[in-house]
Amino acid sequence: MTCDEFVYTTLTRVCPGTYIAYDQGHAPALPWFAYSPRRGGEVFADDENYSRLPRYRVELLFKEMDKDLIARFEEALSQLGTWSLYLSDYLETERCLYHDYRLSLNLGKLREREASNG
Please determine, for residue 59, whether its predicted confidence score (pLDDT) is greater than 60.
yes
Hey, where are the domains in the chain?
3-117
Chain centroid to CA 14: how far? 11
Q: What is the pLDDT of residue 117?
A: 74
Q: Tell me whether residue 33 is exposed, middle or buried, using C-beta atoms within 10 angstroms of its C-beta: 0 to 12, 13 to 18, 19 or more.
A: buried
Q: What are phi and psi of 49, to 5 degrees?
A: -75, 110
Q: Which residues contact 72 (CB under 8 A, 6 or more apart)?
A: 14
Cβ atoms of residues 88 and 58 within 8 Å: no
Given pLDDT bands bounded at 50, 70 and 90, which one contains residue 87? very high
- Tell me yes or no: is domain 3-117 CATH 3.30.2000: yes
Q: What is the pLDDT of residue 76?
A: 97
Cα–Cα distances in angstroms (integers) from residue 12 to residues 31, 53, 61, in the given order: 11, 22, 13
Please determine, for residue 118, whether its predicted confidence score (pLDDT) is greater than 60.
no
Q: What is the pLDDT of residue 51?
A: 65
User: 89-100: per-residue pLDDT in tens?
Assistant: 999 988 999 999
Q: What is the pLDDT of residue 84?
A: 95
The candidate with the shortest Cα–Cα distance to 10, out of 58, 70, 79, 60, is 79
Q: What is the pLDDT of residue 109?
A: 81
DSSP 88-110: EEEETTTTEEEEEEEEEE-HHHH
Cβ atoms of residues 25 and 87 within 8 Å: no
User: 8-56: per-residue pLDDT in tens?
Assistant: 999 999 999 999 999 988 999 999 999 999 876 566 566 665 667 889 9
Given pLDDT bands bounded at 50, 70 and 90, which one contains residue 4? very high
